A and B are shown apart, each in its own frame.
Chain A
């Protein structure tokens, strides 16, 4: 009795008759790679912290199937992303779009690094000059462990 109750409970909580796929959808490795990358880049809107590749949710498997259908129909990656954002908004893309409003986001990391390295170069050069100008001072400094 309890087993039936548990199973019925699980059936009610999960959707019915979802055909679950194995990961391998395409014969062509290039298409398979495209598929895997696309599903990793799309957010599952049900379990928000997962991509549709990782999520168990019904919506995730429906969207995976949709991506597969679109690849087979010959759509490009940009067209598939556009398909998703037309329906779910930019929020569904885990990889943010590259557009004027996100230039700062994409350029930021490189800018931070270049800026930081720039400052470091300036400082190191100044200190090296100080060291060479006065090598005796280095020796006179008390040696702290």
Chain B
């Protein structure tokens, strides 16, 4: 049974396609990786949410790892993750800086007063320019910056204790009392 090769081309091409699909099914296409991973954290210096005369910036925590948590009062997911953030703050492993994104100062302060404040400091970004520099496309988002000032992880969506323990803790240096 002679089989001219060209008649097998469709079947072979299809087989290659299926191979790609098998690989593709094992990856998560919905996840958009951040191009900032491994790069220095984008520098910023913004007004503090509570005290406009003070400045809060990316250089504040140099020398130790810290979290940047992007949040806003209009963001439903931020409310969901607030408990977890408070718990993480209590653990005292890393300092958490908040980035209040496109929000109203008074509303934000009231929100923190009512629900609790897990942040060491909060930067106020009403224009959203700093958020753009960090590649933020939705709230909440949380970034882990290492002691050298490099972004080593980005988490999109509400942070849960499970995610914190499974994905963030392994990236931190062994526990020591935070200052």
Residues of A bordering B, CB below 8 Å: 12-18, 45-46, 58-59, 62-63, 66, 85-89, 91
Contacts and interface: CB of A to CB of B under 8 A. Distances in A.
B36 interface: yes
Given A58-B102, A62-B132, A15 B74 contact: yes
A88 B74 contact: no
B7 interface: no
Interface string B138-170: 100000000000000000000000000000000
A94 to B, nearest CB: 14
A45 B138 contact: yes
Contact of A63 (B132, B133, B134): B132
Contacts of A46: 137-138
B104 interface: yes
Contacts of B137: 45-46, 59, 88
Contacts, number: 48
A95 to B, nearest CB: 17
B39 to A, nearest CB: 9
Contacts of B104: 16-17
Given A15-B74, A62-B128, A87 B102 contact: no
A87 B32 CA distance: 12
Contacts of A89: 32-35, 135
17 contacts: A12-B74, A15-B72, A17-B104, A46-B137, A59-B128, A62-B102, A62-B127, A62-B128, A63-B132, A66-B132, A85-B35, A86-B35, A87-B133, A87-B135, A88-B135, A89-B32, A89-B34
Interface of A is mostly: helix
Which 10 pairs between the two chains have the least Cβ-Cβ distance? A45-B137, A87-B135, A89-B35, A62-B128, A88-B135, A91-B32, A15-B102, A59-B137, A16-B104, A15-B74
Interface in B1-51: 32-36
Interface residues of B, number: 20
Contacts of B102: 15-16, 18, 58, 62
Contacts of B132: 62-63, 66, 87
Of B34, B74, B129, the most chain A CB neighbours within 10 A belong to B74
A87 B74 contact: no
Contacts of B135: 87-89
Nearest to B137: A45
Contacts of B33: 89
A59 B102 CA distance: 10
A13 B72 CA distance: 12
Contacts of A87: 35-36, 132-135
A15 B138 CA distance: 12
